[in-house]
Structure 1
């Protein structure tokens, strides 16, 4: 059975991706150790893969045990809502550490394993990675950077299949925080379900090798 490594799998979109890929893949669930991550692993007979995306120096040793990797899903992300004049440089550093530098470093550490399997890399980006979102300055900038990295990886590693998925607003804890920042009333029915995003990931992963799915744009249909 092929192996898939998923970051940020403890809840929201990440746990939905785990559920979508579990029937067809052996799962490595990467993240900081937690009861929530353990619960997802137990549910899908998966293996936890201790990883702190901000500790990039540890990636080389952590990833030595992975000889071949069929699928890498970059799902973990950080959002600190704030307009430009309300932000400070430490918030920008924290956002880029999780949303850009972590995925770049993890991809580089796993590149030999991905090449060995002629694997797939899926980036969960955001609508903010295509058009900057008001009040989301550092987050939007980081998602544009992640988009550029995915495009560069696709160009430079022709044996890999690289897909970026741009979900619109999705019913997650991050979304609840954003709505609270905006001063609105939360209505889950207005947003994508995590399972819908996960289905797009599963479809991208299942694309036959004669096709290379570059991008998927998802928006709420309500």
Structure 2
């Protein structure tokens, strides 16, 4: 049976992979990202199963418009993949701007909170699911990654709180690993000055040696979780390839 999902950060990388997998599974997908061109392309290819809004989620007034538009387009919401986020600033705390941190939190935390808050009534109706895209950086620390790591930690804990307060909605946080996306390119290109030399070099090496993940691998797990995550996963965090998610890792 066809379900309706919202996917943020859906114009490229991991979000695009998740959206494509859901579309291929005959679901309806409402796409959100800043870049309209790629969203329009998917809409053109899948006219009846895709709609979208090109928007900057850091503008918190956008959240109710997204929920309203998704319900208008497809009648309900069965799940949300909170995938959007920014890495910048890649700067040590001593050299950083508090305003840059505030902007990162607006995107990585507050925009997600605004979207989920608006979606709760619809997700209660559908006993829906939310998958938060977290990061290993939420649990460790790299020099220069303070705003990213701490904001992803906040996002991951938001998942836990949502699970406690809304038990009819299954919420899961997933770390997708090192995926071959624009964010990895940004680490290689912009991270040298803010990161420790050996850690930065390790990211460069993983790219050059072909060790970065194809977005479809964690994307497949995320798509299957938003489609059918079970209640025993509620409020928990997992790496995309964790043994506990074996049922969601098949082709």
> How many Å apart are 1:209 and its aligned residue?
4.3
Partner of 1:166: 175
> How many Å apart are 1:30 and its aligned residue?
1.2
Q: Deviations over 1:23-72 (max 9, x none)?
A: 23101001235212212333444111243211112322442342521010
Structure 1 segments of 4+ aligned residues over 4 angstroms from their partners: 208-211
Stretch of structure 1 that moved more, 84-93 or 38-47: 38-47
Partner of 1:133: 142
1:89 matched to 2:98: yes
1:102 matched to 2:104: no
2: CA distance between counterparts of 1:141 and 1:85?
16
2:129–2:227: 8 Å Cα contact kept in structure 1?
A: no
1:199 matched to 2:207: no
Unaligned runs of 5+ in 2: 193-199, 242-251
TM-score under structure 2 normalisation? 0.80
Unaligned runs of 5+ in 1: none
> How many Å apart are 1:198 and its aligned residue?
0.5
> How many Å apart are 1:210 and its aligned residue?
5.7
Query: Relative to structure 1, is the Cα distance of residues 72 and 208 closer, same or farther in structure 2, using a 3 angstrom cutoff?
Result: closer
Stretch of structure 1 that moved more, 178-187 or 196-205: 178-187
Aligned length: 219
> How many Å apart are 1:212 and its aligned residue?
3.2
1:170–1:191: 8 Å Cα contact kept in structure 2?
A: yes
The CA RMSD over aligned residues, in Å, is: 2.0
Higher Cα radius of gyration: 2
Stretch of structure 1 that moved more, 31-40 or 8-17: 31-40
Query: Relative to structure 1, is the Cα distance of residues 210 and 79 closer, same or farther in structure 2, using a 3 angstrom cutoff?
Result: closer
1: CA distance between counterparts of 2:210 and 2:102?
33
Stretch of structure 1 that moved more, 6-15 or 207-216: 207-216
TM-score under structure 1 normalisation? 0.90
